[in-house]
Amino acid sequence: MTKRLTWEQKSIVSHDTGHALVKAVPGSGKTTTLVKRVERLVKTGTDPRSILILMYNKSAQVSFTENLKTALMSSVIPEIRTFHSLALKIVGYGERQQIIKKKDLITPSDYRYEQLVKQAYRYGFDHEANYIDPNEIENFELFIARCRAAAVTPVDAANDPTFSNIKREFIHAYGRYCELLEENSLRTFDDCLIEAVALLRNDSSLGAHFKHIIVDEYQDVNLIQHDMTRLLSKSDTSVMAVGDVNQCIYEWRGARPDFIGGLFERH
């Protein structure tokens, strides 16, 4: 027997047009409510292909896709992606159109990435020894993630007072890290996000077919993901941001829970 929706859940499901901020705490029936919302949009005439649903990680994306397929009982469902997979799709378009350079995707589990990070670290710290403290490498990778999350270049990092407490060697190493990626025609998922945002800024037609955008776990987005959401949102797009500022778990990697309250300030 299907559990009946509360009046708060019903108001989310029946929301028509315009932006909406949904504060969802654990155990609030968020997934069921969002599936019901999408189901209602489709049943009332919205083209599923005009709906974009952004999930924060792959497991959430897979789970939501299965739930939605069951609810809609159709082979045509909305586009359900993570920020990274959407960025990769946009970057792929840019490569095919020869707007941006074609590069290989590299992930942290790739041996080449591990060697590249160590090479950059040695450059920054003028480190000749074979052994490098794993904790220092981890700290360097966190610094890289923090910079990429805010699209901070090595020059920005060197001149930004908010980085004054960071070892200058980290900043030099970060500069070399960026150079090595470019020299070897490589990009990470974080690079994909940065390049995708640049493409969206330069071509307003990208993503223009989306009339409804739902973003889950918005408290965990970083600056570049926040910018992507804004750029995908056109004048006739309704954005529903779902999250709980008290549940932010990625703040150490550049997540900004304050974005959830300010998403629609310029709309």
pLDDT of residue 17: 77
**What are the strands, taking DSSP E only, across the chain?**
20-23, 51-55, 79-82, 104-105, 186-187, 212-215, 238-243
Domain boundary among 115, 150, 184: 184
> In whole angstroms, what separates CA 171 from the centre of its chain?
24
pLDDT of residue 110: 96
Asked if residue 27 belongs to a known ligand binding site, the reply is: yes
Q: How many domains does the chain have?
A: 2
Asked if residue 25 belongs to a known ligand binding site, the reply is: yes
What domain range is 17 assigned to?
7-92+193-262
Q: What mean pLDDT, rounded, does the chain reach?
A: 88
Asked if residue 26 belongs to a known ligand binding site, the reply is: yes
pLDDT digits (tens, 9 = 90+) for 156-185: 999 988 888 888 999 999 999 999 999 999
Three-class secondary structure of residue 182 per DSSP: helix
pLDDT of residue 257: 45
**Is there a domain that residue 57 lies in?**
yes
Asked if residue 24 belongs to a known ligand binding site, the reply is: yes
| Between 247 and 83, residue with greater pLDDT | 83
pLDDT at position 265 over 70? no
- The CATH number of residue 54's host domain is 3.40.50.300
What gap in Å lies between CA 173 and CA 169, rounded to an integer? 6
pLDDT at position 254 over 50? no
**Is there a domain that residue 142 lies in?**
yes
Whole-structure pTM value: 0.87
For 8, 11, 96, 158, the CA distances from 15, given in Å and listed in that order, are 11, 6, 38, 46
- Contact call for residues 163 and 171 (beta carbons, < 8 A): yes
> First vs last Cα of the chain: how many Å apart?
41
- Select the highest-mean-pLDDT range: 60-64, 71-75, 218-222: 60-64
**Is there a domain that residue 143 lies in?**
yes
Asked if residue 229 belongs to a known ligand binding site, the reply is: no
pLDDT of residue 130: 75
The pair of three-digit structure tokens given for residue 114, joined into one six-digit string: 């591990």
Q: Are residues 75 and 116 in the same domain?
A: no
Asked if residue 28 belongs to a known ligand binding site, the reply is: yes
What gap in Å lies between CA 25 and CA 22, rounded to an integer? 10
